[in-house]
């Protein structure tokens, strides 16, 4: 219970900061109750998301939540889905490039000729 309260407080703080940004951006004022309401809703939605994600992962017979699960969760809102897929693709690409770089570095360090051929085939 204590953890929950702390989490809620953290969420509330973050939401407050974001709302202040938005308020200053749009030059609109937001009351405290509004921010509290938003943070409460965000918290509950996060709970719901977590349960759904767990369900999806279990449905796919996995024990780890995947990006696929997240995409499934976000499919309702098209724009959000697009955003998420784009981000995930970027992330994947980044990961791949990082992996390749790591592999290349390791290969250069250890065995250059064989790995160079292997890396070349990969590329």
Partner 1 sequence: MADGDISDNEPTTRTLLRRVLDTEAPRTPRRRQSTRAGVQRTPLGTPFSMRLRSQTKTTAGRQPHRARSIGRLAHIQTRGQLKEQTPRTLLENILLTAPESSMVMPESAVKPVPAPQVVQVVQFSRRESSPGSLELQLPELNAPTTLAPGRLTSGRRKKRLRLSEFQQGMDQELPLSQGPVTEPPGNTGASSLSSSLNLTFATPLLPQSVQRPGLARRPPTRRAVDVGIFLQDLQDTSVATAFPGDRTPVATLPTDTVLEDTQPFSQPLIGRSPSVHHSLPYPSLSAERTVSRRTRSSGPGLQNNSPGKPAQLLAGKAEEVDALAMRFPNTSSGTSGVDGLEPLLGGVGEEVEERMEESMSLSEVKEATGAQASARAEEPEAHTEVAEAEGSWGAIEEKELEGSSGDKDTEGRTARPELASSTPEFPRARQLEFLEPAPPTSTAVLRQDPYKMGLSHYAKLFSFYAKMPMEKKALEMVEKCLDKYFQRLCDDLDVFAAHAGRKTVRLEDLELLMRRQGLVTDRVSLHVLVEQHLPLEYRQLLIPCAFSGNTVFPAQ
| Residues near partner 1 (CB under 8 A) | 52, 55-56, 59-61, 68-69, 72, 75-79
For residue 86, the minimal CB distance to partner 1 (Å) is 17
For residue 72, the minimal CB distance to partner 1 (Å) is 6
97 three-class SS: helix
For residue 60, the minimal CB distance to partner 1 (Å) is 5
């Amino acid at each position: 219970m204590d953890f929950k309260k702390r989490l809620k407080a953290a969420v509330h703080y973050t939401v407050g900061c974001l709302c202040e940004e938005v308020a200053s951006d749009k030059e609109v004022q937001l009351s405290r109750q509004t921010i509290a309401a938003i943070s409460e809703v965000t918290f509950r939605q996060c709970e719901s998301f977590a349960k759904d994600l767990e369900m999806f992962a279990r449905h796919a017979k996995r024990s780890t939540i995947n990006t696929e699960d997240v995409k499934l969760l976000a499919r309702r809102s098209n724009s959000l889905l697009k955003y998420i897929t784009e981000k995930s693709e970027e992330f994947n690409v980044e990961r791949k490039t990082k992996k390749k770089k790591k592999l290349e570095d390791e290969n250069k360090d250890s065995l250059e000729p064989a790995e160079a051929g292997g890396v070349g085939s990969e590329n």
